Chain A
Amino acid sequence: MKTRSIDTSTVAPASRRDFLAVTATGALGAMAATGGGLLLGFGLPARGEIRDTATTQSAFAPNAFLRIDRTGKVTFVMPVIEMGQGTYTSVPMLIAEELEVDVDKVAIEHSPPDDKIYVNPLIGVQMTGGSTAIRGTYIPLRRAGATARVMLVTAAAARWKVEPSACHAENGQVVHGATGRRLGYGSLVDAAAKLPVPENVVLKEPRDFKLIGTPHRRLDTSGKVDGSAKFGIDSRLPGMKFAVVAASPTFGGKLVSLDEAEAKAVPGVTQVVRLGDTVAVVGRHTWAAKQGLAAANPQWDAGPNAQLSTADIVAQLASASQKPGVPARHDGDAAAVMARAARKIDAVYEQPFLAHAAMEPMNCTVHITRAGCNIWVGTQVPGLTQAAVMKVTGLKREQVRIHNHLLGGGFGRRLEFDGTVRAVQIAQQVEGPVQVLWTREEDIQHDMYRPYYYDRLSAGVDATGKALAWTHRIAGSSIVARYSPAWIKNGVDPDAVDGSANQPYGFSDIHVDWVALEPPGVPTAFWRGVGVTRGTFAVESFVDELAANAKQDPLAYRAALLDKNPRAKAVLQLAAQQAGWGKPLPAGQARGIALCTGFGSFIAQVVQVSTYKDGTVQPLHAWCVVDCGVVVNPDTVRAQMESGIVFGLSAALYGEITIKNGRVEQTNFGDYRVLRINEIPQIDVHIVKSLEAPGGIGEPGTSCVMPALTNAIFAASGKRIRKLPVGEQLRTA
């Protein structure tokens, strides 16, 4: 499968209405017609990379998600972007299931920016994030496919002069059951396009699924094994220049001076662009730009945060969390129960700033002309990115074209459009198209970071150690307050308390509150697992501590608190069973368990570690049981659990961004360490069969593994990890 964006040519001076018409009909008429679109509609092999879209009048496009041409070629337009999580396979499976076509022969297109047509119904804008891709598309995209199928069946029945109910669709054809007559979709598109689009269509019953629930090979692999897959960074345009950026190394600093003559003396350097807090050197290739930037030797005014360190931020959080926060959950009377409990147990957990460090460094290619602005980038939010560019350029919506690409990793980083805005500001000063690139050092030192969080938990327990009351105070940055303030309800950031206010265990007396405190100058953003990752580490660590205090088995202790949460209890017990929970292990090895409920899914993991006398920790084995309701592509679920576990282990063992003298200390994969192939545990994933509504799977694997690891470390070594990452903590244990 090849993917392509809607348009790779220049900005067409079309009106908004025209642009939508093009999108909605899928005609791409303006572009295709210039190459003889009518002719291209026939006879060419059905390959996505060919602009073989039929003309406006021949294409059948009952909605914005699919179209079929007269050759029977089917194209799906993806409302969510592929960033590794398998949506360009599972979402096509949803449409193909109801449309009755061979999903392997479908061409896939990225959607253009449109927060209405391609809205994520769970978010309210066009967004790929929050483990919502399947949850948001499961019904709408099946309906899109079913609608088209009904119209094609109706068209065939009319041609045969039979009842539609006597016909059915299979493998891109309509079949008249009684006579066995068949008509391919391609021969029906003109008639179907003239029919009214039905308002209500009946979706398949799960027992009739042919695709959903059956493992299917990814549709995007071929381009990813031969180098032909196109990421934003692979955009190449005639006459394109290459720019490398450097922003102020301190948060909030300003550019003071640079040596432009030295920069321009580097062969191939064409230009130096100054913005208030950033410099970009432009050249004929990235190497020239990179060397030019070094030669420019920019000097900076360190600005107001010149003395800032991580310790200052932690001290501020510790102090702020002494005082009550905004209640996120208040059931019963935790304070009163705590006061009369046999014992009170307290703990503080800290989780560091984290970088996303996607393998594709931040980049954006921009061409600004008198007609408008074309942008080639990989983004999780095309519509928001377009709006941000409109704001910074003053251009109209139809003048800002976003050509989305496969993402070389997202993890939340590409929910932000700071890089695109910066690239556009640079491109405004450059003649012709320019690719703006962040080196890995810039990517890490100018990320928008997963915030530092400071969690204070207390429990009142009875004489047997049973928890009677639970309090949890979360202090940290509110990403939502910046990103989407409308999501804040009654002063509570729903993301920051996710996994905490709605934690899975049954306490009748529970109080969870929230203290928002922004780290001065440090930009914060969503990171894989968002609030659930943060909350699950604190909750699962503390429950484990309560079990240890009660001298009870961590599995049994948890299970006793889950009587009202049967799906959670079931995955927990199944994970333990699969891991051989309780069976003896060699000296120095132990298992830890954790539960994660979030994104509509239920996950339990057991991690088996070995700890060594020199303080080394080695995760040996991870068992994961996932109940995410209806499964679309089981292999995608499996892959996402594997992915989440590796990503989470990287963060839990090594991940930490620290700040000193107002700047990030880490620079590259040497000091921002991530797991390598020789460091990963064996991973076993078990998927629970379920007919419940689909849950998210992109993130919770990450959320669950961190406490499973640290609980295993406690079991192996007696060292309770209350502050991530694990790092060197066992060396001083």
Chain B
Amino acid sequence: MITLNVNGKNRALDVPADMPLLWTLRDVLGMTGTKFGCGMGLCGACTIHIDGQPARSCLTPASAAVAKKITTIEEIGATPAGKKIQAAWLASDVPQCGYCQSGQIMSACALLAANAKPSDSDIDAAMSGNICRCGTYPRIRAAIHQAAGSAREGAK
């Protein structure tokens, strides 16, 4: 048994220590917002936060998150950055098929939490690990800028 703190709740789980968090979340906890895309950390669809830092859950063993705080797409809206990013995503109509968007949003939230006013190259650096086959990239960029704008306003 290992105990994981997922979205603020401690969960005692009977899973192998080396089981990636992706499958722990999706198959054991039934939290399907975090997506499987490539299994190799190449596409970012599985991005979650561990202690606020973005992590590819497909490559992160459950044991690596013990005694840390895991945040997923299901609860990211409760964070200040998450709230702004989700609002900007809605306002810009970013998603198309939507499958990659959980990961996109988790990466964007981590960026915004660390950098209140990201430049285009900051966005490239933070977001280039997340693939979108529908090509929502222009809107992702616009939405991050928009969220950053409201973040600045909020800071005043």
A residues with a Cβ closer than 8 A to B are: 82-86, 217-218, 220-231, 233-234, 236, 242, 267-268, 284-287, 357-361, 406-411, 437, 439-441, 635, 639, 642-647, 650, 668-670, 674-678, 680, 682-683
A-B contact pairs, 26 of them (CB 8 A): A84-B98, A217-B93, A218-B93, A221-B89, A221-B95, A221-B98, A224-B95, A225-B105, A227-B31, A231-B35, A285-B15, A285-B27, A286-B26, A287-B23, A359-B132, A359-B133, A360-B97, A360-B99, A409-B97, A411-B133, A639-B96, A642-B136, A643-B135, A669-B131, A677-B132, A678-B125
Task: Please list the 9 inter-chain residue pairs (A to B) with the smallest Cβ-Cβ separation, ordered nearest first.
Answer: A227-B33, A646-B135, A408-B99, A84-B97, A224-B98, A84-B96, A227-B73, A285-B27, A678-B124
Q: Are A287 and B93 in contact (CB under 8 A)?
A: no
If A225-B86, A287-B19, A669-B42 touch, does A642 touch B139 (CB 8 Å cutoff)? yes
Q: Are B97 and A408 in contact (CB under 8 A)?
A: yes
Tell me the nearest residue of chain B to A682, going by C-beta. Answer: B138
Interfacial chain B residues near A222, Cβ < 8 Å: 90
Q: Is B54 an interface residue (CB 8 A)?
A: no
B96 CB contact (under 8 Å) in A231, A643, A674 = A643
What's the Cα separation between A228 and B99 when bound, in Å?
11
Interfacial chain B residues near A408, Cβ < 8 Å: 35, 97-100
Q: Are A680 and B135 in contact (CB under 8 A)?
A: yes
Interfacial chain B residues near A236, Cβ < 8 Å: 30, 32
Q: Are A227 and B74 in contact (CB under 8 A)?
A: yes
A221 CB contact (under 8 Å) in B38, B93, B99, B129 = B93
The 8 A CB mask of B29-62 against A (1 = contact, 0 = none) is 0111111111110110100000000000000000
Q: Is B128 an interface residue (CB 8 A)?
A: yes
Task: State the main secondary structure of chain B at its contact with A.
Answer: loop
Q: How large is the interface on B (under 10, 10 to 19, 20 to 34, 35 or more residues)?
A: 35 or more
Tell me the nearest residue of chain A to B144, going by C-beta. Answer: A677
Q: How far is the CB of A291 from chain B (nearest CB, A)?
A: 9
Q: Are A677 and B93 in contact (CB under 8 A)?
A: no
Q: Is B127 an interface residue (CB 8 A)?
A: yes
The 8 A CB mask of B115-136 against A (1 = contact, 0 = none) is 0000000011101111111111
Interfacial chain A residues near B27, Cβ < 8 Å: 242, 284-287
Q: Are A285 and B19 in contact (CB under 8 A)?
A: yes
Q: Are A86 and B43 in contact (CB under 8 A)?
A: no
If A221-B90, A225-B90 touch, does A406 touch B133 (CB 8 Å cutoff)? no
Q: How far is the CB of A378 from chain B (nearest CB, A)?
A: 9
Tell me the nearest residue of chain A to B141, going by C-beta. Answer: A677
If A227-B74, A642-B139, A680-B135 touch, does A361 touch B96 (CB 8 Å cutoff)? no
What's the Cα separation between A674 and B102 when bound, in Å?
19
If A285-B23, A359-B37 touch, does A680 touch B138 (CB 8 Å cutoff)? yes
Interfacial chain A residues near B146, Cβ < 8 Å: none
Tell me the nearest residue of chain B to A215, going by C-beta. Answer: B93
If A222-B90, A359-B131, A642-B135 touch, does A409 touch B99 (CB 8 Å cutoff)? yes
If A85-B96, A642-B138 touch, does A226 touch B124 (CB 8 Å cutoff)? no
What's the Cα separation between A374 and B74 when bound, in Å?
28
Given contacts A227-B102, A669-B43, A677-B137, 4 further A-B contacts (CB under 8 A): A221-B90, A228-B33, A359-B37, A408-B99
Q: Are A409 and B32 in contact (CB under 8 A)?
A: no
Q: How far is the CB of A281 from chain B (nearest CB, A)?
A: 14
The 8 A CB mask of B79-106 against A (1 = contact, 0 = none) is 0000000100110011111111110010
Interfacial chain B residues near A218, Cβ < 8 Å: 93, 95
Q: Are A86 and B26 in contact (CB under 8 A)?
A: no
Q: Are B97 and A83 in contact (CB under 8 A)?
A: yes
What's the Cα separation between A20 and B97 when bound, in Å?
29
Q: Are A84 and B134 in contact (CB under 8 A)?
A: yes
Q: Are B32 and A647 in contact (CB under 8 A)?
A: no
Which of B26, B36, B125, B133 is most buried by chain A, counting CB atoms within 10 A of its CB? B133
Q: Is B112 an interface residue (CB 8 A)?
A: no
What's the Cα separation between A220 and B94 when bound, in Å?
11
Q: Are B90 and A217 in contact (CB under 8 A)?
A: yes
Interfacial chain A residues near B96, Cβ < 8 Å: 84-86, 639, 643
What's the Cα separation between A440 and B38 when bound, in Å?
5
A440 CB contact (under 8 Å) in B32, B34, B37, B90 = B37
What's the Cα separation between A646 and B26 when bound, in Å?
30
Q: Are A668 and B97 in contact (CB under 8 A)?
A: no
Interfacial chain A residues near B123, Cβ < 8 Å: 677
Interfacial chain B residues near A223, Cβ < 8 Å: 98
If A359-B37, A359-B97, A677-B141 touch, does A226 touch B73 (CB 8 Å cutoff)? yes
Tell me the nearest residue of chain A to B88, going by C-beta. Answer: A225
Q: Are B99 and A359 in contact (CB under 8 A)?
A: yes
